[in-house]
Amino acid sequence: MHVKHTQPKRLSIGIVGGGIGGVAFAVALSRDSGLDVQLFEAAPQFSEIGAGVSFGPNAVRAIQLLGLEAAYQRIADASPAPFEDVWFEWRRGSDDTYLTASLAPGVGQSSVHRADFLDAIVAHLPEGIAHFGKRCVAVTQDAASATAHFDDGTHFTGDVIIGFDGIKSAVRSHVLPPDQFGDIAPFWSGTYAYRGMIPTHTLETALEANGSEKRLAWVPQMYLGKDRHILTFPVKQSQLVNVVAFITDRSVPHPRLPDGEEWVQAVSQQEMLHVFQGWSPACQAILASIAEPTRWALHELPELPFYRRERVMVVGDAAHALVPHQGAGAGQALEDAYVLATLLTDVRCDHRPVSDVLAAFEHVRHARTCRAQRTSHDAGDVYEYSGKGIGGDESKLIHDLENRFDWLWNHDPHDDVIAARQYLETVSRDRL
């Protein structure tokens, strides 16, 4: 399946998975004419679920560094002045009382419709790189190469295989073989998320009818309560409001999803309204405006001991899938894409074993992505009055919300590149 080239390429890279992270990674690599880049997607075409995705300042920085800012800004939503720096306003779910706001200066609640963002990135992908209907079923490697095997009987052999293939990753079982590491499977977080999209004018009308301010429709909001919370933010140039309403089972330490239950299913509006019975007028207006909600069983991965095995690596959700409570998942995938692409497009990358470059990437990214997983889970506890040492104490809750995101947002992915290059220099010196 190799593409023939008139001159030998410095490095051949196979990417498994064509979501936002995988495509952004492929676009960044494709700008280097010294690389042979091939992307394999299981679906018949690029597609994303129709949901909103939120980006913190760190993710917007990664988008800029990836050279995708213009494409992003054309579709990104932001709150109108004077709320442009608001990431979320936080309110008590029982009565809409304002608690505080988390501010992300210069970025605010930068959000997009997932499908729109994927389309915008795909527009930058050169012809001939993407291959569809290619579901990876196994990965093998030897000292000189790595091979991805697909369910249609074809395969791709290159210098490196990168698994950007999501929480149900097939590449992950090669990196962490089950006979050595057990079955590393996604686990249910205990949280269900009811999702829906509401036309903004519909929600404004419903809010006003319930005696609430209509600006709650277009300024991002979080409504907090015991074992439940609701978030809203605008997407599609503020034509739609993305709504997610969460409920968590904390009755047992490790709740299990009923056997055979689908992760995503259509449910009745009645079920959702029952879950939030007695909540505030604004919350009632929001939920009553979603005629056909879907319910998502939110899964995450345990923290993996490592992300790579010689020439094969998992990144993004395949390596560190997390719950969405800090809006950090897509951001971590984009940071991964920028850092790894920058290391692989370095012209010196052919002068050393490429597995050293993957090791350097893992060295600088592992602790941060594991922390993003851990703190995202913790954030859900905080929002639902179950945070360690916080519980229902709103003064402690407010302090946490005002400071929780600093470490996540104030990160420059280029610092990871610098640290990885220092690591590689140390490795080279140690070998002399």
SS3 state of residue 202: helix
Residue 110 has pLDDT above 90, yes or no: no
**Domain segments of the chain: what residues?**
11-51+114-185+302-431
CB contact at 8 A, 77 and 236 = yes
Let me know if 195 is a catalytic residue.
yes
**Which segments within 26-122 are labelled E, that is strand?**
35-41, 52-55, 86-92, 98-103, 110-113
Beta strands in 104-254 (DSSP E): 110-113, 130-132, 136-141, 146-150, 155-158, 160-163, 187-199, 221-225, 228-235, 240-248
What pLDDT score was predicted for residue 229? Answer: 98
Q: What are phi and psi of 296, to 5 degrees?
A: -110, 125
Q: pTM for the full model?
A: 0.94
- Decide which of 3.40.50.720, 3.30.1490.20, 3.40.800.20, 3.50.50.60 is the CATH code for 11-51+114-185+302-431: 3.50.50.60
196 to each of 9, 233, 293, 321, how far by Cα in Å? 47, 11, 5, 22
Q: For residue range 240-285, what is the model confidence (pLDDT) as tens digits?
A: 999 999 999 999 989 999 999 999 999 999 999 999 999 999 999 9
**294: pLDDT strictly greater than 50:** yes
Residue 84, classified by CB atoms within 10 Å of its CB into exposed (0-12), middle (13-18) or buried (19+), is middle
Task: Tell me the CA end-to-end span of the chain in Å, nearest whole number.
Answer: 38
Which residue is it, tokens 């220092």? 422
For 25-64, write each residue's pLDDT tens digit. Answer: 999 999 999 999 999 999 999 987 767 788 889 999 999 9
**Residue 1 pLDDT > 60, yes or no?**
no
Distance of alpha carbon 143 from alpha carbon 189, whole angstroms: 39
Distance CA 145, CA 148 (A): 10
Euclidean distance between CA atoms 27 and 49, whole angstroms: 21
Residue 32 amino acid letter: D
Q: What is the pLDDT of residue 352?
A: 61
Given a cut of 60, whether residue 192 has pLDDT beyond it is: yes
What percentage of residues in the chain have a pLDDT greater than 90?
Answer: 84
pLDDT of residue 5: 46
Q: Which of 195, 228, 309, 311 is catalytic?
A: 195
Tell me the pairing of strands 240-248 and 187-199: antiparallel
Q: Above 90 in pLDDT, residue 336? A: yes
Are residues 18 and 318 in contact, defined by beta-carbon separation less than 8 angstroms?
no
